Structure 1
């Protein structure tokens, strides 16, 4: 018996690649969901500060430095696409501090079109000892997917930047983020 040639040889050639593309897009769905992140400015928690006091200029400079370090590392090493948080600046200011607003950062991130919300704060301790904490949560559910903390034992730009790089490398990106391989 002879094997019969398909009546439409072009149809088989089109169907297989279409099925492969469909399967790949189904697999890419969760990966695409974890690719965008709203990285909010790292904040200061100073238990000794009086209510309504402003962050000292030297601390504000270091907070901006570690925020930029966090954004750069998550983009370059974590492969995340960062969304601009500037359009939500008024809401961030109103809701803040984000580290204690009961999930408002997730809502803001979701409103900005991000799948992940990244928040962090530095807690001032005694005599140049600071604790740096960072959390990555799913914007939709609020589920924490990663977090890390480190103690900073000197009050210099270099020690703060080093602390953020350490948290990112050893806690936040020690394993690939969900949806990343």
Structure 2
């Protein structure tokens, strides 16, 4: 019994150590580029889904111990100020400034490309704040414009990133 408690305690401490060692990541709100020309306005539905996949990815990366997720709530005023002029994906380095303000070592930007009602793709980039250089870039396509399809895409990304980090390809 003592061995079990000691082994469990050691595993717990290793888990805590890994969580403490995980770098901080700021995940900016995902953006959409809709070229589908659908006759129905689905902006509010898409805004909800963009927040949903951002939160899903944050939870999945945190759960896997890959990153500690930085809280971007304190940055909302600055983000809205930037968005009044341009997209975050076109802001010439504002993502680095935001990540520094959040105390993050890495920053993630994501864009959902809606090509048609059934075809979409996601572009995701993670940059190292200190160097302003990408450490991970991925584009992947998926089918469906539903909560389920978007959630599957977010989970696919999290699994893919975890695999690449385990192989030392995304540091």
| Same fold (TM > 0.5) | yes
TM-score normalised by structure 2 residue count? 0.74
The 3-state SS of whatever aligns with 2:157 is helix
User: Do the aligned partners of 2:36 and 2:116 also contact (CA within 8 Å) in 1?
Assistant: no
Matched residue, 1:22: none
- Matched with 1:43 is 31
Task: Give deviations 1:82-125, integer Å, cap 9, x for gaps.
Answer: 11101111211222321221221111101111101011110111
Q: Quick one: distance in 2 between partners of 1:78 and 1:137? A: 18
Secondary structure of residue in 1 paired with 2:144: coil
Aligned-pair distance for 1:47? 4.1
Structure 1 gap ranges (5+) = 1-27
Task: Indicate the residue corresponding to 1:128 in structure 2.
Answer: 118
Q: What is the number of equivalent residue pairs in this alignment?
A: 145
Q: Contact (CA 8 Å) 1:44, 1:55: kept in 2 or not?
A: no
In the TM superposition, what whole-angstrom CA distance separates every residue of 1:66-89 from its partner, at most 9, and x where no partner exists?
A: 111110111111431111101111
CA distance in 1, matches of 2:82, 2:35: 19
The CA RMSD over aligned residues, in Å, is 2.7
SS at match of 2:80: helix
* 1:49-64 → structure 2 map (5 Å cutoff): 56-64=43-51
Supply the distance in 1 between the matched residues of 2:152 and 2:117 (Cα, whole angstroms): 19
Gaps of 5+ in 2: 1-16
Match for residue 153 of structure 1? 143
